């Protein structure tokens, strides 16, 4: 299953990239993270492997995230015409997910965030979930992006129920 979401954020691309890359901000806009800790490398850097744990309702999901692309490596002084790219793979029980995020400058104070998601499932239950509920994955990804936009532009924190 593969799909793409996008959203425009009223902040300069460099600032959006910094907010997305900072692990301290993750719980403010991403619903359900319990733990996100590097097991090798430094958070957000190319090649870093992290243990991630999410709480989704009554269910906890544990996975390994690997940063597979980060361009440019330094987020300061990014040329106006370049695209910032963050790619990662997330592997958990019965699931493989690739996230390919692109940040494009659309104006001096605006950024287009495009996120391509690709999922592969193992096991009968996970495959059925992917086949029967593809729209819910797409919808959840768009919700994460809307939550990030509200956090980045207005300081809203999803843990406070302000969204």
Give the CATH fold of the 2-153 domain: Alpha-D-Glucose-1,6-Bisphosphate; Chain A, domain 4 (3.30.530)
Q: Which residues contact 69 (CB under 8 A, 6 or more apart)?
A: 46, 85, 86, 87, 100
Spans of all domains in the chain: 2-153
Whether 37 contacts 151, CB under 8 Å: no
**pLDDT string in tens for the chain (163-residue length):** 899 999 999 999 999 998 998 888 988 998 888 888 999 998 888 999 999 998 877 888 899 999 999 998 777 777 778 899 999 999 998 889 999 999 999 999 999 999 999 988 886 655 566 555 667 778 889 999 999 999 999 999 998 864 4
CA distance 146 to 33: 17
């Amino acid at each position: 299953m593969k799909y793409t979401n996008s959203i425009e954020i009223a902040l300069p691309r460099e600032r959006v990239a910094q907010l997305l890359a900072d692990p301290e901000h993750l719980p403010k806009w991403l619903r359900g993270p319990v733990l996100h800790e590097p097991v090798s490398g430094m958070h957000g850097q190319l090649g870093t492997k992290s243990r991630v744990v999410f709480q989704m309702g009554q269910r906890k999901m544990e996975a390994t995230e690997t940063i597979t692309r980060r361009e440019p490596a330094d987020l300061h002084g990014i040329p106006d015409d370049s695209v910032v790219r963050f790619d990662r793979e997330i592997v958990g029980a019965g699931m493989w997910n690739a996230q390919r995020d692109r940040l494009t400058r659309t104006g001096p104070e605006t950024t287009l965030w495009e996120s391509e998601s690709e999922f592969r499932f193992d096991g009968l239950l996970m495959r059925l979930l992917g086949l029967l509920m593809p729209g819910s994955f797409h919808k959840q990804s768009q919700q994460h992006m809307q939550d990030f936009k509200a956090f980045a532009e207005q300081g809203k924190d999803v843990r406070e129920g302000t969204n």
